[in-house]
Amino acid sequence: MYENRKYRSIAAFIILVVCALFFFILNVCIGSVRIALPDIVETLAGRQDDETLTRILWDIRLPRAAAVLILGGALALAGYLLQTFFNNPIAGPFVLGISSGAKMVVALLMVFLMGRLVRVTSADMILGAFAGAILSMGFVLLMSRRVNSMSMLVVSGVMIGYICSAVTELVVTFADDADIVNLHNWSRGSFSGMTWENVKVMTLVVAVTCIAVFLMSKPLGAYQMGDAYAQNVGVNLRLLRVCIVIFSSILSACIVAFAGPISFVGIAVPHLVKKLLNSAEPIRMIPACFLGGSAFCLFCDLLARTMLAPTELSISTVTAIFGAPVVLWIITKRRVNHV
Amino acid sequence: MCKQDEDMTNYYFTAKEMCVGYDDKPLIREMEIALPKGEILSLIGPNGAGKSTVLKSIAGQLKLIGGTVSLGENVLSEMKSGELAKKMSVVFTEKIRAEMKSCRDVVATGRYPYTGWFGILSKEDERIIDEVMELTHITELGAQDFNRISDGQKQRVMLARAICQEPEIVILDEPTSYLDIKYKLEFLSILQEMREQKGLTVIMSLHELELARIVSDKILCLKGEFAERFGTPEEIFESDFIERLFDIREEEFGENEKLIKYIRQIGRI
């Protein structure tokens, strides 16, 4: 069952990279204006004279696809970290209310700053989202001390999410400024309107966090065995827990700040990837989750943009269609295996 | 080699005025344990006497309410976690969570304190894993999924994991509870083998008094607020002490005597 794991891992990584690349290219090609692959190469090489094409490619398609790639990966990784942390297969930034908490604080911040005609920078958004994510995470942690059952923890997370969403709705509804229209779209989750400036900031934040998470793969692996055994082999549990909370919150915050809350990717992707790898080792799972999240989100964003074009669907609509069945599958499978 | 004196420094494991319990509420107080290197100490006592609590405290997983535990010269609470991991390993009643792990993978986790930053196993690590699996007779379980084997097999794999950590002392909580008699004996003979070959010190709780009696060098009886008695099996099992400890009548204990005879006949230990 586990003999050929090395080859399986290599095969899995090739599949993931190919998928991510494939959907990235499709995302760049397909849209209201179709761009053929040779044209893209020409444009990137700077030999394209068509100004419109160049603008569409450079200002809209490429930054958006890059953002989906980065944020999708971050989202799946955040989900994986939270599942590991709570030893709960259906934990994720969305179901635990962490995305909603981040969304609430960002919404409050935006309305407050816009009301004073102050420009909101990417950094402000991330910091606001991080504060909100930590706030929600704090509540979830408090709840996790009081409820032992995994499902009840998720229910409390969902409740926290509802409260935060309600507050956000309230704020958005009452502040009917022209800018708030954007806020409304964002609060439902969307990758639209990405700029290279955004991409730069998110790349920096996500790259640093992902590298830090990858460096933690050994203690994370030990942590999966359970507290007693992790401690026995010399893991500093308290430090590791703090790191997981902070890193998963940074990743969740970064996604919310740029694309709003996105459901199900954080739960579905780590599970699909785990099946693909046939291993739960963090050293394989961390990079694989990132690639899987990128591919999955690129695929979903493609559908969100094109299915009912020119109307754009919210990204969560699409991710839910593909992600929710995975969650149901996980739940039913666990019953059978009495885990 | 320096000449060994008959004083305190000869003891490998010592607990002084150890007081254990949860949330600052002492359960057992003023425990004194002193164990030379390479001896086996068994904890016996009725259910709820606090055997697991004592073992968790000794392993440093539960904060001591009072007193100290030392390994050789080192006080446990002052040791670095990585340093302690190379000296002490545990097998608790709580099972290892192993998602998509083969039994060999589980055994390999014992190498954690010795591997580098990313935990990649070296050739030497692989060799030790194979050796330990052979020693513990679980080589044939190697490729199987840890979550799909029986509880008894899990206990054997968890012992292998603990040995793989190359400890000087191993702490085991009810390690034989799911094993049938053949494997109980095999399990304990592995511990004895490790003691003879590598000078492994063992502290464990045992359900089976008969086994405790024949396998242990020292026995600690727990009941009530203070450790009831600490001594060699001969001292503990003389007279009617055991009957009082477990509130049982002599004829009931007599049943267990039959088992001892059986074990002696097999002659494994």
Interface confidence (ipTM) of the complex: 0.85
Please name the residues in contact with B11: beta carbons below 8 A apart, sequence gap of 6 or more. Answer: B34, B35, B36
Taking the CA atoms of residue A254, residue A260, residue A265 and residue A270 in that order, the dihedral angle to the nearest 10 degrees is 10
Q: A75 and A293 in contact (C-beta within 8 Å)? A: yes
Q: Residues A83, A252, A319, A163: is their CA dihedral positive or negative?
A: positive
Mean pLDDT over each residue of chain A, to the nearest integer: 89
Confidence check: pLDDT of A27 > 80 = yes
Count CA within 13 A, CB hemisphere, residue B110.
Answer: 30
**Rounded-to-integer distance, Cα B214 and Cα B216, Å:** 6
Alpha helix positions (H), B19-122:
51-58, 81-85, 103-108
Q: B128 and B111 in contact (C-beta within 8 Å)? A: yes
Residues of B in contact with A224 (CB under 8 A): 97, 99
Question: Which pairs count as long-range contacts for A12-20, CB under 8 Å and 24+ apart, including other chains?
Answer: A12/A273, A12/A276, A12/A277, A12/A288, A13/A287, A13/A288, A13/A291, A15/A276, A16/A273, A16/A276, A16/A288, A16/A291, A16/A292, A16/A295, A17/A291, A19/A291, A19/A295, A19/A299, A20/A69, A20/A291, A20/A294, A20/A295, A20/A298
Confidence check: pLDDT of A186 > 60 = yes
Q: Is B166 on the interface with A (CB under 8 A)?
A: no
Number of residues written out for chain A? 339
Taking the CA atoms of residue B53, residue B54, residue B60 and residue B61 in that order, the dihedral angle to the nearest 10 degrees is -10
Confidence check: pLDDT of B268 > 50 = no
Nearest Cα of chain B lies from the Cα of A330 at a distance, in angstroms, of 14
**Rounded-to-integer distance, Cα A329 and Cα A321, Å:** 13
Q: A167 and A173 in contact (C-beta within 8 Å)? A: no
Alpha helix positions (H), chain B:
51-58, 81-85, 103-108, 123-135, 151-164, 181-198, 209-215, 233-237, 241-246, 250-266
Chain A nearest-CA residue for B144: A1
Among B59, B81, B109, select the one facing A225 at the smallest CB separation: B109
**Rounded-to-integer distance, Cα A139 and Cα A96, Å:** 10
CB-CB under 8 Å, B110 with A278: no
Q: Give the angle subtended at the CA of B164 by the CAs of B163 and B166, to the nearest 5°.
A: 70
**Rounded-to-integer distance, Cα A55 and Cα A59, Å:** 5
Least confident of A77-81, A202-206, A265-269, A308-312: A308-312
Pairing of strands B11-22, B201-205: unpaired
DSSP A60: I
Of residues B13 and B246, more confidence is placed in B13
Pairing of strands B169-173, B201-205: parallel
- Reading the block at residue A107, the tokens are 């919404």
CB-CB under 8 Å, B97 with A225: yes
Residue B29's beta-bridge partner residues? B226
- Reading the block at residue A33, the tokens are 């204006």
- Can you spell out the DSSP letters for A73-113? HHHHHHHHHHHHHHT-TT--TTTTTHHHHHHHHHHHHHHHH
At B128, the pLDDT band (50, 70, 90 cuts) reads very high
CB atoms within 10 A of CB A163: 16
Q: Is A293 exposed, middle or buried (0-12, 13-18, 19+ CB in 10 A)?
A: buried
Share of chain A above pLDDT 70, in %: 95
Domains within chain A, CATH numbers bracketed: 2-338 (1.10.3470.10)
CB-CB under 8 Å, A232 with B115: no
Chain A nearest-CA residue for B88: A232
Chain B nearest-CA residue for A228: B61
The torsion region of residue B174 among left (phi > 0), alpha (psi -120 to 50) and beta comes to: left
Chain A nearest-CA residue for B80: A234
Residue B10: strand, helix, or coil: helix
Number of residues written out for chain B? 269
Please name the residues in contact with A21: beta carbons below 8 A apart, sequence gap of 6 or more. Answer: none
Chain A nearest-CA residue for B56: A228
**Rounded-to-integer distance, Cα A248 and Cα A225, Å:** 20
CB-CB under 8 Å, A234 with B143: no
Confidence check: pLDDT of A40 > 70 = yes
Mean pLDDT (whole number) for A310-331: 89
Nearest Cα of chain B lies from the Cα of A224 at a distance, in angstroms, of 6
At B251, the pLDDT band (50, 70, 90 cuts) reads low
Please name the residues in contact with B142: beta carbons below 8 A apart, sequence gap of 6 or more. Answer: B102, B103, B104, B133
C-alpha distance from residue B232 to each of B65, B171, B206, B224 (Å):
27, 19, 15, 20
Which amino acid, A330? I
Residues of B in contact with A225 (CB under 8 A): 96-98, 109
CB-CB under 8 Å, B85 with A221: no
CB atoms within 10 A of CB A240: 17
Mean pLDDT (whole number) for A102-108: 91
**pLDDT for B257:** 63
Mutation site for B-interface testing, chosen from A5, A233, A279 by largest number of B Cβ within 10 Å? A233
Q: A30 and A306 in contact (C-beta within 8 Å)? A: yes
Angle (deg, nearest 10), helices B123-135 and B151-164: 130
Of residues A230 and B264, more confidence is placed in A230
- pLDDT, one tens digit per residue, over B16-67 is 999 999 988 899 988 999 999 999 999 998 888 889 999 999 999 999 999 9
Among B61, B97, B165, select the one facing A233 at the smallest CB separation: B165
DSSP A9: H
- pLDDT, one tens digit per residue, over B103-116 is 999 999 999 999 99
CB-CB under 8 Å, A222 with B94: no
Among B84, B145, B165, select the one facing A1 at the smallest CB separation: B145
At A318, the pLDDT band (50, 70, 90 cuts) reads very high
Mean pLDDT (whole number) for A47-55: 80
Mutation site for A-interface testing, chosen from B57, B79, B99 by largest number of A Cβ within 10 Å? B99
**Rounded-to-integer distance, Cα A9 and Cα B90, Å:** 32
CB-CB under 8 Å, A231 with B165: no
**pLDDT for B261:** 63
**Rounded-to-integer distance, Cα A276 and Cα A282, Å:** 14
Sheet holding B218-222, edge to edge: B88-91, B169-173, B201-205, B40-44, B218-222, B227-231
Residue B36: strand, helix, or coil: strand
**pLDDT for A127:** 93
Please name the residues in contact with B204: beta carbons below 8 A apart, sequence gap of 6 or more. Answer: B40, B41, B42, B43, B55, B170, B171, B172, B173, B175, B191
Mutation site for A-interface testing, chosen from B101, B150, B164 by largest number of A Cβ within 10 Å? B101
**pLDDT for A28:** 92
Mean pLDDT (whole number) for A62-77: 96
**pLDDT for A192:** 86
Residues of A in contact with B145 (CB under 8 A): 1-2
- pLDDT, one tens digit per residue, over B10-20 is 799 999 999 99
Residue B66's beta-bridge partner residues? B19
- pLDDT, one tens digit per residue, over B207-240 is 888 889 889 999 999 888 888 788 898 888 876 7
Confidence check: pLDDT of A178 > 70 = no
- Reading the block at residue A204, the tokens are 């920096």
- pLDDT, one tens digit per residue, over A230-280 is 999 999 999 999 999 999 999 999 999 999 989 899 999 999 999 999 999
Share of chain B above pLDDT 90, in %: 60
Nearest Cα of chain B lies from the Cα of A223 at a distance, in angstroms, of 9
Q: Is B146 on the interface with A (CB under 8 A)?
A: no
Confidence check: pLDDT of A132 > 90 = yes
Residues of B in contact with A235 (CB under 8 A): 81
Share of chain B above pLDDT 70, in %: 88
At A320, the pLDDT band (50, 70, 90 cuts) reads very high
Q: Is the peptide bond before B175 cis (omega within 30 degrees of 0)?
A: no
